[in-house]
Structure 1
Amino acid sequence: MIFMHIRTRFAPSPTGFIHLGNLRSALYPWAFARHNKGDFILRIEDTDLERSSQEAVDVIIEGMAWLGLDLDEGPIYQMQRIDRYREVVKQMLDSGLAYPCYMSEEELNTLRDQQMANKEKPRYNGLWRPEPGKTLPPVPDGVSPVIRFKNPIGGSVIWNDAVKGQIEISNDELDDLVIARPDGTPTYNFCVVIDDMDMNITHVIRGDDHVNNTPRQINIMKALGGTPPVYAHLPTVLNDAGEKMSKRNGAMSVRDYQKAGYLPEAILNYLARLGWSHGDAEVFTKEQFVDWFDLESLGRSPAQHNPEKLLWLNHQYIQNSDPVNLAVSTKPFAHEMGIDTETGPDFVQVVSLLKDRANTLIEIAEGAKLFYLPAPNLSVEQIKENIAEAVIPALKDLVEAIASSTPTKEAYAAVFKQILAKYQIKMPALAMPVRYALFATTQTPAIDSVLVVLGKEEAVKRLSKVIQ
C-alpha cells in the first residue's frame, strides 16, 4: 500500500511530433497519479533551443487534452528555470561537487579515437578533475569551460526498477558528466534531477531508452542530498514491422489519428494495453483503467503496435457510442466533405443508422453523404436498366403501403413482408430497385431503417418517380 503523496510527471522534449509511443509515456504516469489520488505534472524539456519549437509544444498539449489526460501542474518550461539551474551549478562548484573542464572538442575527439583504437569504452579521462595532490594543467586563454559533475569513484549505483527489477551499474562505467555547456546552458541529465527534486517527484515512469541516464541522475541527486524517486522504465513500443516506433519509421502523430476519425477513448484504451494488462480485459473505460492500474501489471517485453487492433477497438467504441455524442464528433468530418447537416434528415438518426458498420468517423461521414445529396434525377434508360418492368406493380403497391403506414422500422418491415408474400418474390428483387430509386445505388444500410431516416414523404416522392 502506498502512503506517500504520489507525484508523477511527463517530461517530453518539444523537438518533433508526438506519436503513440510518446503518449504511452504520458498515460501511465497520469493513470498512476490518478489511481493514488496524487498529482500529475507536465514538464516541457526545451533546453535544446535549436530543435525545440512552440508548434511541437502545442501538439503535446492538444494531444493530451484530446485524450483527457488532465494536469495538476504545468506545463512547466525548463527554459524558464534557467536561473535555478545556474544557482545549483554554482553551489556545486562552491562545494566541490563539480568543476570546470577546459578540454576542447578536438582533444575529446582525439581521446575517444585513442580509446576506441585500444578497444576501450570511450569516456572522459578526468584530466581537469581536481584531486588532493594533483596538479591541473594551466588554464588555456580565451576558453570557456564546461562544468562537469564529480561522479563517485568505485562502488555501484543500484536501484530497484518497478518494471525491470534490480539494476546495478558500476561507477567505473560512468565518467564525469557535463552539467553545463560553455555558454552556461545546463544539460538534460542535470536539469531533470533539479526538476524532479524541486517538484517532489515520487515516481518516474518513462521509456527504457532512459535507463542509461538513471545512474547518472541518481548520483547527482544523492550528491545534492535528495532521495531518488521510484523508477519504472517501460519497454520500447515497436511499429508493426518490429522496429522502434518513430517518425522515421512511419509512426503517425496524435493529430493524424484525430484527423483519421479515431475516437480518443479508443486511442486511450489501445495505449493502455501497449504494455499493461488487467486479466483478459480488452475493452474498458478510462475510469476502469485508472481503478485497475498499478505498476506491478506493467509488462517487461517490448509492445508491438497493431494498426488492425486499433481499428477494431475504434469500431467497438463507435458501435457502442451514444448517437448524440457521436454525431457531435462526426459533424466536423461531414462539414469538411461539404455535407450540410442542418438540411435534410436528422443527423443523429443518420449517425445512429451508420455507426454499427463504421470503423472511423470518416466512414460515418462518407456514408452520411447519401442522405444529403439531391434526389437522383434518373433517366428513362437508367430506370429500365436497373429496375425490371416485372417489379413495377410490386413497387406501386409498396409506395401506397408506405404512404399509409406508420413511419417506423417495424411498420416498414411489415410492409415489405406483405408485398413480398403477395408477389411471391425474394427480398433482393424488391429492395434493390427501391435502393436504386431512392439513391441511384444499390449499396445502402437496411432498407427499412433507410426509409425511416430519409423520411416517409421524401421516400414516397422518390419512389413515385420510377413507377409513373
Structure 2
Amino acid sequence: MDYQKLADILFPKLKHDCQYYFDKYPKRDLPENAEVLRIAPSPTGFIHLGNLYSALADERIAHQSGGVFFLRIEDTDLKRKVPGAVDAIISSFDYFQIYFDEGAHHQPHEGNYGPYYQRQRAEIYQTFAKRLVSEGKAYPCFCSGKQLTEKRKQQKSLNEATGYYGKWATCRNLSLEEVQVRLENKEKFVIRMRSTGNIENQSIFHDEIKGDITVRENNQDVVIIKTDGIPTYHFAHAVDDTLMQTTIVLRGEEWLGTLPVHLELFKMLGFKLPKYAHTTVLMKIDEKGTKRKLSKRKDPELSLDYYRQLGYHPYAVKLYLMTLLNWNFEQWHLKNPDTHLEEFKFSLDKMGQSGALFDLDKLHNISKTYLAKFSLEEMKDFLKMYVSSQKKDKYDLYFDNEDYLDRILTLGMGLDLRKRRKDYIYGSQILESIDLFYHHNRVDDFSCDNETAKNLLTQFVETYDYNDDNSVWFEKVKELSANNGYASEMKEYRENPENYKGSVADVSEVIRIAITGHRNSPDLWTIMQILGKEESVNRINKTIKEFN
C-alpha cells in the first residue's frame, strides 16, 4: 500500500503540514512548574454544577502555579448544539467569577493558541489525520450505520466484545484501488485509527487524583475524523491539548473508560502525554435516603441556572464547592474566615476519590454565614445585581426609596444587634422575607378563633400609639393579654397554663399575623415603625374587615 498516495487522495486540499502548526503555536513562556489547564464544555444549552466544580479546580491549579487557564468550546457535534449556548456558558462563568486568561470570547483578544472553537480548527485536525494515514496508522472506513448495527448484532450473538476491531474491522485492509473506486462512487467515509493494542495487556497508569490505576490497552479502531471532516472528541483532545500545551487534563471520572484510546492516540501521534486528573461525580442523598448521582432530570440544583435564578451569591457557592474539592479547605476556612479562598493552597492529591456528597443545607449554612458579614451597602449592591438580572420589573419597587429599604435591611440583617442575624440565604429568599414591607398578604392562619382574634386586634388598635417606644408598646400588649384571659408573663403561664387561654406570646402572634402575614418575623415593634402608623393600622383594620 502506498500510504502517502492514500493520504493525498483523502486530503487533497490541505495547505500546511504538521510542522507548520507546531511553529504557529510555540512553547508558552511560563515560569517553571506552571500548569496549563482548560475547561472545554459543549454548547448543548445545559451548563451544570459539574462544569463549575471542574472549572474552579482548573482555575485554582493554573493560577496558583503562575500558569494559564483557558476556555475552549467543543462544538464538534452540530446536532446537539443549541443557539445561544456559548453565550450562556460564558455568562455563567462570569457570574460565578471564573476568569480565563485566554479562550473563546476572551477580551480584548482570544489568545495566541486559537481558534478556541473546535469546528474552526477542522483543517488542523485533518492535517494530523493525514499524517497518520501517510504512516499507515489510520485508514478510511466506508461502513454504513446499517452495516455497523449488523456487526454489533453478530458480535452479541457470538458473545464477543462489540466494536470495530480485529476481524470485524472490514475496511482496515482495503487496497488503494478499492478505496479509489469507493471515492469515485462518492461513498461517505470516516477516518479510523489503526489500533495496535491488545486488550489482554494491562499497565499501571498514574492519575493525579485516583493514584495508580490499572489500564487495559485499547484494541478498537475508533473514529478520529467523522464524515463531515470534523474530529471526534478523542482526536480533538489529543491535537488541541498538545498544540495548546495543556499540562493537566482535569475531567470527570466518566471519561476513564476512554483513557486507553487517548493513551494510544498520543503515542501514535508522537505527542507528550499530559497529566490526567479524573474528578469524582457529584452525589446526593435523595428523599428515600439513597445515595445517588445528581441527575439533570431529577435534580434542578444540578443546573447553574438554578443558582442564578434564585440569586445565590457566587462567592458563597464557590466557598461550598471548595469544601467538596479539597478535604482540608473547610478546616482552613474556619481558621481563616475572612481570608479569600484564593489564598488557600489547592492540591489535586487532596481531592476525593469517591463520590462527593452535595448537601444543599450545608450550602445554605455557608451562604448565611457569608451574607451575615455584609455591610448594608454590600447587601444592597448584591440585591441590585440580583434584581437587575432576574427581577427587572421589581427594581423600582425596591430601590426607588432606598432609605426605606435601608431600614428594612438593617432590621433583617440585625445590624443594630450585638449578634448579627443569619436569616438571609440567597436573593429571592431575601426578597421574599422583605416582601411584607411592600405587600400585605396573609400566609399563616391564626391559632385562635376568628372572633377572639378580631377582639384582640380591635382593642390593640384602640391603644396603639406610633410614638410609643418598644418597652411601652410591649407593656400595652401585656395589658391587652391580661384583660383577655392570657398570661402577661411567660413565667406565670409556664407555672399554671391551665389558668389561662394562652400567653402574651399568643396575643403577639395575632398582631404579628395581622401586620406581617406570618407567625414568625423579626422584631414586630420595629416592623411597625418601618411601615408607619397609617400602614400598620390599615393592615389591622383590613384583617378585622376580613373577619366580618
Quickly name the TM-score band, shorter chain normalised.
0.7 to 0.9
Q: Which residue of 356, 359, 379 maps to 2:425? A: 359
Shift in Å, 1:443: 4.9
Shift in Å, 1:290: 5.4
**Identity fraction in percent:** 29
In structure 1, stretches of 5+ residues that fail to align are 403-411
Shift in Å, 1:245: 2.4
DSSP 3-state at the match of 1:231? strand
DSSP 3-state at the match of 2:80? coil
Write the mapping of 1:189-208 to structure 2, written as runs, cut at 5 A. Answer: 189-208=234-253
Q: Deviations over 1:161-208 (max 9, x none)?
A: 01112233232x431221112232211110111110011000111100
Shift in Å, 1:384: 5.5
Q: 1:430 and 1:344 mapped to 2: Cα distance?
A: 33
Q: Which residue of 1 aligns with 2:229?
A: 184
Write the mapping of 1:314-325 to structure 2, written as runs, cut at 5 A. Answer: 314-325=367-378
| Pairing 1:39–2:68 present | yes
Q: Which residue of 1 aligns with 2:208?
A: 162
**Which amino acid in 1 is paired with 2:405?**
F
Q: Which residue of 2 aligns with 1:250?
A: 299
| Pairing 1:310–2:380 present | no
Q: 1:53 and 1:440 mapped to 2: Cα distance?
A: 44
* 1:265 and 1:285 in contact (8 A); partners too: no
DSSP 3-state at the match of 1:223? helix
Q: 1:437 and 1:138 mapped to 2: Cα distance?
A: 87
Q: Which residue of 103, 128, 146 maps to 2:171? A: 128
TM-score, with structure 1 as normaliser: 0.81
**Which amino acid in 2 is paired with 1:321?**
F
Q: Deviations over 1:384-430 (max 9, x none)?
A: 5343638855x45xx44x4xxxxxxxxx4455578789999557588
Q: Which residue of 1 aligns with 2:10?
A: none
DSSP 3-state at the match of 1:300? coil
Shift in Å, 1:367: 2.5
Shift in Å, 1:48: 0.1
Write the mapping of 1:411-450 to structure 2, written as runs, cut at 5 A. Answer: 412-413=469-470, 416=473, 425-426=488-489, 428=505, 443-450=520-527
TM-score, with structure 2 as normaliser: 0.71
Q: Which residue of 1 aligns with 2:545?
A: none
Classify 1:464/1:37 alpha carbon distance in 2 versus 1 (closer, same or farther; 3 Å): same
Shift in Å, 1:285: 7.1
Of residues 351-360 and 262-271 in structure 1, the stretch that sits farther from structure 2 once superposed is 351-360
Classify 1:289/1:121 alpha carbon distance in 2 versus 1 (closer, same or farther; 3 Å): farther
Write the mapping of 1:17-166 to structure 2, written as runs, cut at 5 A. Answer: 17-75=46-104, 76-124=116-164, 125=166, 126-130=169-173, 138-139=178-179, 141=182, 142=185, 143-154=187-198, 156=202, 158-166=204-212
Classify 1:203/1:348 alpha carbon distance in 2 versus 1 (closer, same or farther; 3 Å): farther
Classify 1:226/1:93 alpha carbon distance in 2 versus 1 (closer, same or farther; 3 Å): same
Shift in Å, 1:92: 1.8
Classify 1:120/1:285 alpha carbon distance in 2 versus 1 (closer, same or farther; 3 Å): farther
DSSP 3-state at the match of 1:387? helix
Q: Which residue of 2 aligns with 1:292?
A: 345
* 1:161 and 1:231 in contact (8 A); partners too: yes
Shift in Å, 1:235: 1.2
* 1:269 and 1:285 in contact (8 A); partners too: no
DSSP 3-state at the match of 2:251? strand
| Pairing 1:7–2:65 present | no
* 1:238 and 1:244 in contact (8 A); partners too: yes
Q: 1:335 and 1:144 mapped to 2: Cα distance?
A: 52
- Alignment root-mean-square deviation, CA: 3.6
Q: 1:322 and 1:51 mapped to 2: Cα distance?
A: 45
Q: Which residue of 434, 450, 460 maps to 1:368? A: 434
* 1:391 and 1:430 in contact (8 A); partners too: no
* 1:157 and 1:215 in contact (8 A); partners too: no
Of residues 279-288 and 27-36 in structure 1, the stretch that sits farther from structure 2 once superposed is 279-288
Number of equivalent positions: 442
Shift in Å, 1:88: 1.4
Q: 1:54 and 1:465 mapped to 2: Cα distance?
A: 49
* 1:344 and 1:371 in contact (8 A); partners too: no
Q: 1:420 and 1:10 mapped to 2: Cα distance?
A: 61
**Which amino acid in 2 is paired with 1:347?**
L
Larger relative CO (CA 8 A, sep 6+): 1 or 2? 1
Q: Deviations over 1:131-182 (max 9, x none)?
A: xxx97893453223321112233455643101112233232x4312211122
Q: 2:150 and 2:515 mapped to 1: Cα distance?
A: 79
In structure 2, stretches of 5+ residues that fail to align are 1-30, 105-115, 414-421, 443-450, 483-487, 490-503, 542-548
Q: 1:91 and 1:450 mapped to 2: Cα distance?
A: 75
Q: Which residue of 1 aligns with 2:400?
A: 342
**Which amino acid in 1 is paired with 2:61?**
F
